[in-house]
Amino acid sequence: MYRWIQGTVVLCCSIALCALPTRAQLLPISKINLTLTTPILSPVITLKSGEILRVKVERLPPQTEIAVFLGDLDITSQMQREGQELVYKSTFLPLPVGEQTLTVYRTTTPDRWEPVATFPVKITPNSSQIATQTEESGKSPTSTTTPAPSPDPSSQPDSIPANPSDSQSPTATTPPPAGAAPATTSATATDPTSPIGFSTKLNVNIKSQLAESRSPDAGVSPRPTFLDADFTGELSALYPIGTGKLQGKVNLVGTTFQPEALRFNELQERSPLVDLSAYSIDFTDGENKVAIGNVCFGNNPLLVSNVCTRGVTANLKLNNFADLSIGHLSTTAIVGFDNILGIGESNNNLTGATLGMQVANNNSGGVRLETTVMNGSRLPVANFNVGEVVDAETSDGIGFRVTAANDDGRWKADAGFARSTFTAGGNNDPQLTEGTNAIALQPVTKNAWYAETSYDILKDVKLDDKRNIALSANIKLEQTDPQFGTLGATVNADRLQAQYGINATIAGANIQFQHTNSEDNIANLPNLLKTRNNSDTISLNIPLQSVLQNNSPLLPTISYSYQKTAQNGSILAALNGGFDEPSEIPNQLTNTQEIGLEWKFSEALSFDYKFSTTFQDNRQPGRENADFNNTSHQFSVGWQPSQQLRFNLGYNFTNAQNIERQITRFTQSPTFGVSWEFVPDVTLALNYNFNNDSDSIGESLTRSNALDLLLTWNFKTNTFGRENPGSVFLRYSGQSNLNSSSIGNINTNSTINTISTGMSLSF
């Protein structure tokens, strides 16, 4: 207990001392989706604390965004890139002593990271640390206890268990679920000599508008010239406590221009210029975790599904097959230093608990059963960044979820059920009652359920040495009763839906088919419109070079998609439903097709073309001719003759035909761009866009031009032994808009020219 209190005090003092407007180079835990592959381990790298650490990552493109973890510690902000090498040479924050695994991640999409290299690293104490340890313990240097090595990553499963609990904490031997941070090792937590780990980052932006000119039709600018500054900062700290670890993170944002303040929409002129955007403090010991601050809770898609706001959560491992997750959170998004825990408003909270039981285990996750209960209420208060009028609401319910997969992962299933009592509005809602004697709505108890399964009919069957074939099928059924509602999840009420799909991969070509049918008003109430929707979708992606095993640049990648959507409405009693004319009942068929061709003639030259067409056939009686037929052609060319020079050229032509009015609109949009680094780190970029929108009968004309010239200088500074990037820019922007219409006799011509400059620094 003493060590826990000691760690808490040290962490809080550290945050208080270092909570400058900084921002850590940490992976956004709520947004990361890891692709878990098992990297090949390199030989152990041994060095003394304080020495320079160098690791070489093969075939890593220089512009790829990366993240680097040493065990639990995010050291991305302290790493420098020198060609294919990553270098850590910070004397301000020496690496912790012990054996750990250094993992390098790269981004494949903005929300997906994958490990590309791992390196076992052994950090030994330097001479001064050995002397200090000897003086404090009275023992010889050779008696220093060596921490246990990290688990071998090769022992980890190759894939994520099917539908793991969102509340499950990743451990050293279990890959983290989607949305969790990279898998961690226990070396930092078990090493008594490890110092507190810090990771900080500060981003400062200064922007100014030097001059502006406007034509009379463009109106008067509220700020023709200005000078503003803003920053985002983050500090994270890690303190090992016995076999666990205490972590904290603080995010601050600030601005000198009040309308850009974090809570301006909510507080207007009372909004602070510097504010707390997010924070979290959590203690993790094995698979047990307690967290306060900005947390997420819930794993039932129908009742409580990944609610992320301020509050308190706890994840507890009860035994080898059972775990418990508890959460008490705000039901509205909160920022700022007010209501720091998020649970200060007694009628604006959500409380829930999930008991998970691992019924059976296998390599793909086995069978897991979860039971969730929740109770929540919401005041008629909008989220801090949303302008809306909301009702006071309450809900409570119970939900069940089961996930299953066979041992090889070819069959997976997921099913859930929820029963919720929901009340919208109430006597305490002044926005609705407005002082009148309004009668509150009565609570409604309704059900919702879903079931889905998929099966890999063929899994990586070899066609030859280089080409495979795979085939899978999936099905999903779901139903939500009319008036079903819950504060913990966004669910469309009064709907019955079925989806069927087939996915195939043949020699690198992807083929997908999906059929969906849905209907509302499932209770068949005679005074409500009932709509039935049916949709069929086919998509193909065929890279001919891969399919034919021919690297000829003349072979393109072919893409094709087709979607047919039918919408049919009906009403059981037209007079009672308020529909007086058959033309008011929806009845239409829409067909959309798109074909694309993409050539990559070389690393420097590429060309692609897309053609799309959409036909909407309205079939309501009396509106048979209210149809629309749209076609579009898109071209783009990219040419990069050198690393310093790149050209982009594009053209888009759209033809939109209104058959009922016998009018066709024509849209032409050419674009041009060039980027030229004429001296090292100094780049001149030019972008030009033109848009011309006219019609076949000369009824209206809209024409716009936009020219943007940007001169940028990128530089680096060296602070605390690490390189910090920065940039300075000078921009000219010119825009003109011409609007002419015979309807209303509109004729305007506006022009706006601006010159602006700015600087950004990262520390």
Domains in the chain, start-ordered, CATH in brackets? 2-201 (2.60.40.10), 287-448 (no CATH)
Check pLDDT > 50 for residue 242. yes
Q: How confident is the model at residue 45 (pLDDT cuts 50, 70, 90)?
A: confident
Check pLDDT > 60 for residue 399. yes
Check pLDDT > 60 for residue 110. no
Tell me, what's the pLDDT at 279?
A: 93
Rank 15-24, 128-137, 508-517 by mean pLDDT and report only the highest: 508-517
CA distance 695 to 668: 12
Tell me, what's the pLDDT at 616?
A: 93
- The tokens for 293 are 């601050």
Name every residue whose Cβ is closer than 8 Å to that of residue 128 and which is 6 or more positions away in sequence.
none
Tell me what the mean pLDDT of segment 91-108 comes to: 69
Q: How confident is the model at residue 47 (pLDDT cuts 50, 70, 90)?
A: confident
Q: Judge if pTM exceeds 0.75.
A: no
Check pLDDT > 50 for residue 186. no
Q: How confident is the model at residue 425 (pLDDT cuts 50, 70, 90)?
A: low
Tell me what the mean pLDDT of segment 314-333 comes to: 93
> CA torsion angle for 356, 357, 360, 363 (degrees, to 10)?
30
Q: How confident is the model at residue 158 (pLDDT cuts 50, 70, 90)?
A: very low
CA distance 661 to 653: 21
- The tokens for 380 are 């008629």
Check pLDDT > 80 for residue 249. yes
Tell me, what's the pLDDT at 449?
A: 96
Rounded to the nearest 5 percent, the helix, strand and coil shares of the chain are: 10, 55, 35
Strand locations in 347-490 (E): 349-360, 367-378, 393-405, 411-424, 444-462, 468-480
Tell me what the mean pLDDT of segment 307-328 comes to: 94
Question: Parallel, antiparallel, or unpaired for β 495-506 and 557-570?
Answer: unpaired
Least confident range from 66-80, 81-95, 250-264, 425-439: namely 425-439
Tell me what the mean pLDDT of segment 291-307 comes to: 92
Check pLDDT > 80 for residue 253. yes
Check pLDDT > 60 for residue 646. yes
Tell me, what's the pLDDT at 8?
A: 43
Tell me, what's the pLDDT at 576?
A: 53
Q: How confident is the model at residue 429 (pLDDT cuts 50, 70, 90)?
A: low
Check pLDDT > 80 for residue 694. yes
How many CB atoms within 10 Å of residue 46? Answer: 12
Tell me, what's the pLDDT at 61?
A: 56
Check pLDDT > 60 for residue 385. no
- The tokens for 737 are 């808009």
Tell me, what's the pLDDT at 414?
A: 95
Q: How confident is the model at residue 142 (pLDDT cuts 50, 70, 90)?
A: very low
Question: Which CA distances in Å does 364 have to 36, 142, 172, 176, 476?
Answer: 13, 45, 18, 14, 20
Tell me, what's the pLDDT at 44?
A: 72
Question: Parallel, antiparallel, or unpaired for β 682-695 and 663-679?
Answer: antiparallel
The 10s digit of each residue's pLDDT in 706-761 is 999 999 999 988 876 778 889 999 999 999 999 998 887 888 999 999 999 999 99
CA distance 414 to 450: 8
Q: How confident is the model at residue 30 (pLDDT cuts 50, 70, 90)?
A: very low
